[in-house]
Amino acid sequence: MGPIETAIKLKEELDTLRPISIEQELRIMQKFRLDWNYHSNNLEGNSLTYGETKALILFGLTAQGKPLKDHIEIEGHNEAIEWIIDVVKGEYPLTETFIRELHKLILKESYSVDAITPEGLPTKKKIEIGQYKTQPNHVLTNTGEIFRFASPEETPALMHDLMNWYHEKNDSANFNPILLAAEFHYKFIRIHPFDDGNGRTARILMNFILMQNNFPPVIIKTEEKRTYFSALRQADSGILEPFVNLIADNLVRSLEIMIRGARGESIEEPDDFDKELALLELKLTKTDQKAEKTIEILHSLYDTSVVPLITKFIEGGKKFEKFYVKSQHVVLSNGYASYNIEMAISTVKNNITLSTTEFEMSYSYNTFIHSQYGNFNFLSQVQVMLGPNTFIIKSNRRTTNLEKSYGEQLSESEIDEIVKHELKRHKDFIESKMRSK
């Protein structure tokens, strides 16, 4: 019996155990969600371990020494999965708009990455979320050849064709959901419609199709990375069977987990204990690394992390001044507030004591000059909260705060990410006001 037939047989067995109790279903889906977040992001180069991924999702703990961007990737991917789990319960159609909204959730924020030109030269390109690519996103293979995906000009028509193909298959009387999900995944990857995030988006869409048909999600594990990409390359040469079988094999594993869970049995896999041990080690390490703050430590933190953050924050915030009648930036600490940044930077440092609890920077904007969209205001704010052993960076409406021990400092890329988040939030706010009119 092949993996597709095995999966169908297991699905029939699972159906006899339904409905599954809410408690068991939540337990099963939490395992799938954690595995899915870790493995799908790790396949694309995310550096967070399974324990760090779990600590972030379940407890809001950030991993010391890991890039902020990697935390944001996990956060966005988890939000996308939670959205899929929610919408799959209803009759939510799979459309291009649905796919673009999903892509926005996964990537969260626009950013720049290294790329190559059609001629094979290195360059930089801006990754826009929820928008089809505007530049070629070909990749350099291990053999030095350039593998070419669909061009930006071809992409809208090819995505339209893909959706027509999907709906025709999905509406047919005897379609096979496993084949449909696997083929959709491959066809989507072959187009590579977005500048980045195509793999993560493809795997979520594949699972959306499976879950709409009452199958559990497929988790491509990071240790299967070579097999997975090799199967995709074989599909590029017209041999789709290895890829379909890989998907079906992993679906069998998910079905077996779900059946055990539905029966109230253990859903642990052989390596789950190692993952739990890694999480325990992470918690212990964070505890061991905590050092009590001293005046010297606070001065060092201020010079190496807070001042560069203030400078970057004010520099970025100035870009929005032209949109408002009045704007003002301020630095606050210990009850002291200054609108002169140069004076504030030196004065705040001179007033640092062990009772200092935070450094705060804010940029207020009053009365949007384009009054046809409304006379609204905006406040951008970042806080550095000082605890006994760690400091936490908080910015408006960010669901994950960055926590570090006093032995660490903010990297340049982390500062860039923090400021970029606030700038994007401001831009999105203005655009939402424009759309509402």
Q: From the centroid of its chain, how far is CA 393?
A: 19
Question: Is 196 annotated for ligand binding?
Answer: yes
Q: Does residue 329 carry a catalytic annotation?
A: no
Question: Is 201 annotated for ligand binding?
Answer: yes
Question: Is 203 annotated for ligand binding?
Answer: yes
Four-residue CA torsion sign, 17, 21, 26, 28: negative
Cβ atoms within 10 Å of 173's Cβ, excluding its own? 4
- The residue annotated as part of the active site, out of 71, 103, 192, 329, is 192
Residue type, 158: L
Question: Is 263 annotated for ligand binding?
Answer: no
Measured distance between the N- and C-terminal CA atoms of the chain, rounded to whole angstroms: 59
CA 390/CA 408 separation, integer angstroms: 9
Could you tell me which residues are annotated as the binding site? 196-203
Catalytic residue set: 192
Could you tell me which residues are annotated as the binding site for ATP? 196-203
